[in-house]
Structure 1
């Protein structure tokens, strides 16, 4: 019998060793790589990303969609977020596993002559997890679904934040270009006025006006340059690129007509990934409540044992054990799970309210911006023509410098104001697309 016990224990040990996992170290990266080109950065893109880098046209100016795809591929925070998917899948795997049986061995070795060595062996298996296995699987699967939606929402959120920054940067660059051109004109006029002043062909007040116009233009250009540099750094940070990266941006496409607010809210309820993640999380909590309620019933364990005493009497027999639900009855877990469910219910309602408010606010902002943009677009051609006529009139000494500088300043201000409003409208439209959760191509007839 001692030989049989050794063979049995040896077989159990070999079985356990065969199913063991081996340890493999995963060292941390101690250096931050700085790709010199966008092609190099995309070549090192995350293999777990939902898109492929070879689908992005890097030869043409980058559109908002292309920049959003680059952000999904390269942003380091998204790479870390996607790692949660592996954890969620591992939790689903763990929830489906059955509990291992428990083997117990003991021995009594008498020192008095005439007695035999006693031993006992027992095998026990808990049945409690069988009653909650389906609930555990439902919880893990719902949580995994919630994580997938949450990761997708984080990707969508970042992609549209990048589109908003790209639109802001594009219109700031346009403003900087206009301001730089105005500064160059002001500088030429100022230099010419300086020459005329030395030659006695102009007065000191007129020369001072030229100088003030040049200084104002230069200040405006430098302020816009600072904004462009800051926005470029913010965009590169979201894209996962070095701060000094320069990207050629394409002109953003905008909507000419807004869908009704009710339609946008209806689409948001269907397509917002964060709402889908909250619904999946609520389903997981519903399963948590069911599992907690099942936990109030007794948990059974069954087993079988074999033993021999010092008189060499051999016995075997079954065993059963269970909890007596007298005082605890899992009431704390039930109350906690129900309270958490109520909290998630309130959180989902609050997110719905916030979604409707965001969409309505953005639509109202766009409805206010569109008439202002249309008005400026109708005014600019007339101002441009007036500036051209007055410039020639000043050269022919038929108009004063004060009159010309007033019109030229107004033209510059209106151009910059129009670009500011167009940039604000473009950013609001990208923000509205983010709030709805689906691309504008759903409403564009000619994308």
Structure 2
């Protein structure tokens, strides 16, 4: 009857092999409708839900959310949450009692002897004394895992945003670089023609050829960077290498606040990895308390039933207790306290790294702004000069070589400005990542 009562509550083993068909489904491009639904219901402490419209190019924010949903590494990382929840469940379970039995057959001896038996049931009370602490340890660890997962999602989302912005600005630079290469090629052709009629020198021809080759190399280098960035985006999204995600244009605004002290104070409050470390420290603090409890004697209560050879029974309670003479759980306490100190040092080190990261990004953004401001101020004048010279060249008032020289310089300045804008856009994402929040205030 006891077996019939207990067995239905037992877990059963179910095999789960690595099925090739299922693995191929995991590698396939996800269903857009399911992704749109999941993105609209996203629940994250730092990322807001978005509407994914795959019929249009996706913004950097949308691609960041898409990465959170489909990134293969995140899918594997989230499995840690299930393990942590199982540990919480396990910590809350009561200990099972233990049943001991013994039976002896009488083979020889005086007449009237019966076969004796012994039955004992015991229950370990030490687990009851530490159950609440064990649950607290598991709860804090589960909270740490949840925050770690959320932090990893935050990192992946911002890495996707950064790559998206990089692709957009590199594409803009490639367009301008291709135009500059075309101008350099035209200048080279004009120089060759002038050399043929004696209006140019071999030195000028060499300069034009070098400029043309440099412009071509720059265009090809940008094309390689664009292709690599596209592959990096696909890898982050877990998509096949030949898959193309349409990307919308980005108009990034520089951060309003570049006060490193205020940003670091904000990071202390908002960074999920710091909160995860705090939860881990709280879990270890409880583990130290659990180790301290382990130095006290552990009690085990039981009931006995003895049936003797002479066919009479005795029974009664039993108590067993550990004698803390030699061990006294000192090794476990020392390990727990040392681990707590290690976690304390890791938290301080992460704070220091956070402060340094924010300071580095703020310095880079300040330097970029100093370079970008005068260039952005001068570029409209260069644009106007290029237009006037183009009109003058068309009217025959300026030689085409002079015009093309000014135009090449104008395109070089545009490329430099686009490169600075790319750096500013990427560093703006890096600053949000370092602070741990989309809001930098």
Normalising by the residue count of structure 1, what TM-score does the alignment of the two structures yield? 0.88
Separation of aligned partners in 2, 1:256 and 1:318: 73
Q: Which residue of 2 aligns with 1:232?
A: 230
Q: Which residue of 1 aligns with 2:161?
A: 163
**1:399–1:47 CA distance, 2 compared to 1 (3 A):** closer
2:221 pairs with 1:223:
yes
Please list the CA deviations of residues 203-237 of structure 1 after superposition, one character each: whole Å capped at 9, or x if unmatched. 57576666554433222111100011111111211
Q: Which residue of 2 aligns with 1:80?
A: 76
Which shifted more, 306-315 or 149-158?
306-315
Q: Is the 8 A contact 1:64 1:252 kept in 2?
A: no
2:307 pairs with 1:308:
yes
User: What runs of 5+ residues in structure 1 fail to find an aligned partner?
Assistant: 1-10
Q: Is the 8 A contact 2:39 2:50 kept in 1?
A: no
Report the alpha carbon displacement of residue 393 of structure 1 after superposing the two structures with TM: 4.7
1:191-230 paired onto structure 2 within 5 Å: 205=202, 211-230=209-228
Q: Which residue of 1 aligns with 2:86?
A: 90
Matched position secondary structure for 2:316:
strand
**1:47–1:285 CA distance, 2 compared to 1 (3 A):** farther
Matched position secondary structure for 1:319:
strand
Which shifted more, 293-302 or 170-179?
170-179
Which shifted more, 350-359 or 403-412?
403-412
Report the alpha carbon displacement of residue 169 of structure 1 after superposing the two structures with TM: 1.3
Report the alpha carbon displacement of residue 157 of structure 1 after superposing the two structures with TM: 1.0
**1:219–1:351 CA distance, 2 compared to 1 (3 A):** same
**1:291–1:44 CA distance, 2 compared to 1 (3 A):** same
Separation of aligned partners in 1, 2:206 and 2:280: 69
**1:44–1:35 CA distance, 2 compared to 1 (3 A):** farther
Please list the CA deviations of residues 240-282 of structure 1 after superposition, one character each: whole Å capped at 9, or x if unmatched. 2222222323314323522522321221111100000000000
Report the alpha carbon displacement of residue 189 of structure 1 after superposing the two structures with TM: 5.8
Q: Is the 8 A contact 1:69 1:159 kept in 2?
A: yes
1:14-413 paired onto structure 2 within 5 Å: 14-30=4-20, 31-33=23-25, 34-35=27-28, 39=32, 42=35, 50=43, 55-112=51-108, 114-187=112-185, 205=202, 211-247=209-245, 248-255=247-254, 257-394=256-393, 398-399=397-398, 403-413=402-412
Separation of aligned partners in 1, 2:34 and 2:250: 24
Indicate the RMSD between aligned Cα atoms, in angstroms: 2.9
Separation of aligned partners in 2, 1:197 and 1:373: 38
Matched position secondary structure for 1:296:
coil
Q: Is the 8 A contact 1:115 1:311 kept in 2?
A: yes
Matched position secondary structure for 2:121:
strand
**1:28–1:366 CA distance, 2 compared to 1 (3 A):** same
**1:100–1:256 CA distance, 2 compared to 1 (3 A):** closer
Aligned residues: 431
Matched position secondary structure for 2:18:
coil
Report the alpha carbon displacement of residue 153 of structure 1 after superposing the two structures with TM: 0.5
**1:234–1:325 CA distance, 2 compared to 1 (3 A):** same
Separation of aligned partners in 1, 2:212 and 2:161: 35
Separation of aligned partners in 2, 1:333 and 1:48: 45
**1:54–1:370 CA distance, 2 compared to 1 (3 A):** closer
Report the alpha carbon displacement of residue 32 of structure 1 after superposing the two structures with TM: 4.0
Matched position secondary structure for 1:303:
strand
Separation of aligned partners in 2, 1:317 and 1:271: 60
**1:331–1:198 CA distance, 2 compared to 1 (3 A):** closer
Normalising by the residue count of structure 2, what TM-score does the alignment of the two structures yield? 0.89
Separation of aligned partners in 1, 2:250 and 2:374: 21
Q: Is the 8 A contact 2:114 2:308 kept in 1?
A: yes
Separation of aligned partners in 2, 1:204 and 1:243: 49
Matched position secondary structure for 1:257:
coil
Q: Is the 8 A contact 1:46 1:79 kept in 2?
A: no
Q: Which residue of 2 aligns with 1:5?
A: none
Q: Is the 8 A contact 2:50 2:65 kept in 1?
A: no
